[in-house]
A = this chain, B = another copy of it.
Amino acid sequence: MNNISKLKAGDSVDTFYLIKRSQQGVTSQGKPYMTLFLQDRTGDIEAKLWTVSKEDMEVLKPETLIKVKGDIIDYRNKKQMKIATFRLATEEDGLNPKDFVEKAPIDENTLYESIMDYVIKIENGSLQRIVRQMLKKYGKEFLSYPAAMSNHHDFVSGLAYHVHYMLRTAEALCDIYPSLNRSLLYSSIILHDIGKVKELSGPVGTTYTTEGNLIGHIVIASEEISKVTAELNIEGEEVLLLKHMILSHHGKLEYGSPKQPMLKEAEILHFIDNIDARMMMMDKHIDKAEKGQFTERIFPLESRFFYRPEHLE
């Protein structure tokens, strides 16, 4: 109980939360106060601590666990928490910050096994070896990182969860359209966003790294593949094809791909990526709407709003 996603105006809380971000402020009367963004694994909420000591300011840092007493109010149509008192969590509380962040609905191990099942199906030897070596080098991050900063799959293990779903769609499409090369499609799906493990800072409190901003995950991934093929002494057309798949997977130049898809499988990779990201976003927003009502406008879905049918199950 007291899950953040369930809180509503009028509720009182006396619960542990993790500090996601914190900001100091001064009221118009000149008194200091603090704004904390508190989270648990169901969501996050803005909280205000109106009376604050110098010492408070020092300990209320991001990724700190605190126990909070307070009330939920409605401020400009958004929920806000007014903190009455708080204390830092101690070792005796026996809590782990990792239990306070959102995670993929499937656990890491299951995702890993599912993905490895597809690795086995990569019949082209060079491509399978490249994928295995990449997962050997970056598997840990691959399994814990989110797939994006926001919008979709922005949670722990979001990247692997996204890949897992994409592989399932790819398998179906290869069955329906046998002219698609399964090895090329599976290997590029597994590696398409692996550059994110260098573009993003980590699974929690995620920000862009300097390398992420200046180079970007698309070029990072392409270079990592080059390094791995050099390490493994792999040569041949499939290396070029795999790199093209990665480079073109945003589908259009204006979306940051330096090349448009020029392979059938590259075109399809872009569609599979898009379908999974959009299903995730649509489900997330439509689930929040009432039946027979529309969602808010969703910015990454071209600012459209979506309808949740009333009678259709």
A236 interface residue per 8 A CB criterion: yes
- The CA of A311 and the CA of B312, in the complex, are separated in Å by 47
Are the CB atoms of B260 and A257 closer together than 8 Å? no
Are the CB atoms of A28 and B75 closer together than 8 Å? yes
Are the CB atoms of B253 and A26 closer together than 8 Å? no
B residues within 8 A CB of A253? 253-256
> Which of A36-44, A93-101, A175-183 forms part of the interface with chain B?
A175-183
Residues of A in contact, count (CB < 8 Å) = 85
Stoichiometry, as copies per complex, reads: 6
Q: Assuming A213-B262, A241-B312, A271-B274, what are 13 further A-B pairs, CB within 8 angstroms?
A: A25-B75, A165-B177, A169-B173, A181-B313, A210-B292, A215-B222, A215-B244, A216-B258, A218-B258, A237-B311, A241-B309, A253-B253, A256-B259
| Interface set of A (CB-CB < 8 Å, partner B) | 9, 23-26, 28, 30, 48, 50, 71, 73-77, 80, 82, 124, 165, 168-169, 172-173, 175-177, 179, 181, 183-184, 210-211, 213-216, 218-219, 222-223, 226-227, 236-238, 240-241, 243-244, 247, 253-264, 267-268, 271, 274-275, 278-279, 282-283, 286, 292, 294, 301-302, 304-307, 309-313
